[in-house]
Homo-oligomer: A and B are copies of this chain.
Amino acid sequence: MEVIHSIADLRSRIKDYRRKNDQSVGFVPTMGYLHEGHASLLRKARAQSGLVVLSIFVNPLQFGPGEDFERYPRNTERDLQLAEAAGVDLVFMPSVSEMYPSPTRTTVSVTGLTSRLCGASRPGHFDGVATVVSKLFHIVQPDQAFFGLKDAQQVAVIEQMVQDLNLGIEIVPCPILREADGLAMSSRNVYLSEEERKEALVLSQSLQKAKAFVESHTAFTPQELESLVSQHIATSSLAIIDYVEVLAYPTLEPFKNSHHTHSIIIALAVKFGKTRLIDNLILQVGK
């Protein structure tokens, strides 16, 4: 495994690989502080691709003012161990000045998909995501890129961008990984106090309740599911709901009744103290 800091070095390393091999290049972009969720993406890339490229870059562009860019957790040594164990070939770890040598004047924006959920709570967030992912895609030029469905809206935004801009990259969405007790894995879980960590279980529990409800009802409105989820989350005195929304998936459009869609996402963002957690469940509905 090779660790590379400069864009030029990475480009020439990948070009060299392409010249000598006919196999595909798989790419896993991350912000580091890797956990088993990331490891599952890397293992999937290892299984599908000839060359596995991991990027670790905490992208300032996708953090709003007052968000946790400065304190976002970092642990390079542990990240590299995990990457090596997962079979990564190249780790790209650029500095902020390598990625943004001067203030960027160019923005990639995806409309529609970004108006709700985290797009509404975090203005500019998905512009930052789309812009940095398009930069990374241009640098790595992968055949496949692997993204976790915990950020389901991000996956939808990236898929739309790839289609609209003819990036010619296969986006591989990968299932959410959870701790044994159900909490969705996240680099931000490390922020939680012991008590917050315990109460944060209401998130995955509320999604399971919603799932049981969907399975036992032939028809329902998004509002019914949203109430059910919100009410369960409210049983935690520490939870402050940012949003609980039920939308059609992958369009992320509202729908009136479960008869009107085939696939839904139950998505939530909830704060425990200063820590904002997200989780979601994608379900097939109908008949």
Q: Footprint of B on A, CB under 8 Å?
A: 7, 11, 104-113, 130-131, 134-135, 138-139, 141, 160-161, 164-168
Q: Name the B residues within 8 Å of A7 (CB-CB).
A: 166
Question: In the complex, given contacts A7-B166, A106-B109, what are 18 additional A-B residue pairs having Cβ atoms less than 8 angstroms apart?
Answer: A11-B168, A104-B164, A105-B110, A105-B112, A105-B113, A105-B160, A105-B164, A106-B108, A106-B110, A106-B165, A107-B108, A107-B109, A107-B111, A108-B108, A108-B165, A135-B164, A138-B167, A138-B168
State the CA gap A111–B103 with chains docked (Å): 11
Cβ distance A21 to chain B, nearest Cβ, rounded Å: 12
Q: Is A139's CB under 8 angstroms from B113's CB?
A: no
Copies, count: 2
Q: Name the B residues within 8 Å of A104 (CB-CB).
A: 164
Q: Name the B residues within 8 Å of A107 (CB-CB).
A: 108-109, 111
Q: Name the B residues within 8 Å of A110 (CB-CB).
A: 105-106
State the CA gap A141–B166 with chains docked (Å): 11
Contact of A138 among B109, B112, B166 (CB under 8 A): B166
CB closest chain-B residue, reference A131: B165
State the CA gap A165–B135 with chains docked (Å): 5
Q: Name the B residues within 8 Å of A139 (CB-CB).
A: 166, 168
CB closest chain-B residue, reference A100: B164
